[in-house]
Amino acid sequence: MKNKPSSGVFFVVAAACTFALAGILIKLCTFSPQIINSLRCLFAGLLMGAYMKARGHRFTWKSAGTWLCALANFGMGLLFVMANKMTTAANAIVLQFTMPAFIILLQWIFWKKRPDRTAVIACVLSFAGILCFFLESLGGGHMAGDILALVSGILYAVLFLTKQIKGADFESGVLISFVISVFFGLPSVLAEPAAAWSGVNILLVAALGLVQQGLSYIFLNKGLDSVPPVTASLVSMVEPILNPVLVAIFYHETIGWISMIGAVIVLGSAAWYNAREAKSQG
């Protein structure tokens, strides 16, 4: 039974809010990015596996599309955690949200879907916003983190497009990515000094896995049962706004004025593009 449209929007908003916890939780945790990503995926994988079993969703791993989904989600998640440690939370989340521009480009390259004028304008504006971030990074020492966040955004676009590949199973792909992440970070976990294993750090990675990642995917999956993807993308703009706000309040991290301009351009162009798409499909 599908959700009503109103409840679907509620679930998408709930997903955006829980996803937005990433910045502050990653900043507060003193583990390395590899350990954070490994442990959060351990908790998220347990929750996702239980959710799939409860829904009777059959796990599948033989599709190439499912593995592409898994590898894209693994890379996106790890690079995003690394970016949060190396640049500001605002830079990391906004650069990841350049995803719509890369979806347009990748669809043009691999699906021969030529972008219309709206899509071209959105891409140009997004890349203008990206330029603002990198101009400020030259003097702020955040260049490496900004690059990782941007690559994370490209992989986010790949993840989104795996839904168009015949035979790809999104839930199974995400679950596989969690398993890959756990084993990838295992050497770092085993090498971590005992003094680093504080109760606070463990609570933070548990919250990242169970709430910020696991629960978010469940909310988003339920929301997409009744909300079109374009509408969901528009509603999800709550995340890149709330994420740096929480970090600014609880971690006292600020963003430079050039990056602020870039953020307005990137998020504004994404919101405008998604609104136009929603209108054309409505």
Residue 143 is part of which domain span? 5-281
H or E stretch covering 281: helix 257-281
Distance CA 109, CA 102 (A): 10
Alpha carbons 120 and 208: distance in angstroms, whole number? 36
Q: Is the pLDDT of residue 3 over 70?
A: no
- Mean model confidence pLDDT for the chain: 88
Using alpha carbons only, what angle is made at residue 154 by residues 149 and 155, rounded to the nearest 5 degrees?
Answer: 95
Q: What was the pLDDT predicted at 5?
A: 56
Average pLDDT on 82-103 reads: 90
**Stronger pLDDT, 282 or 28, i.e. the higher one:** 28
Count structural domains, the chain: 1
The 10s digit of each residue's pLDDT in 260-279 is: 898 899 888 888 887 787 67
Arithmetic mean of pLDDT, 211-240: 81
The answer to whether residue 235 scores a pLDDT higher than 80 is: no
Higher pLDDT, 123 or 5: 123
* Structure confidence at residue 224 (pLDDT): 74
Bigger pLDDT: 207 or 118? Answer: 207
Closest among 39, 131, 141, 145 to 90, alpha carbons compared: 145
Residue 34: pLDDT above 90?
yes
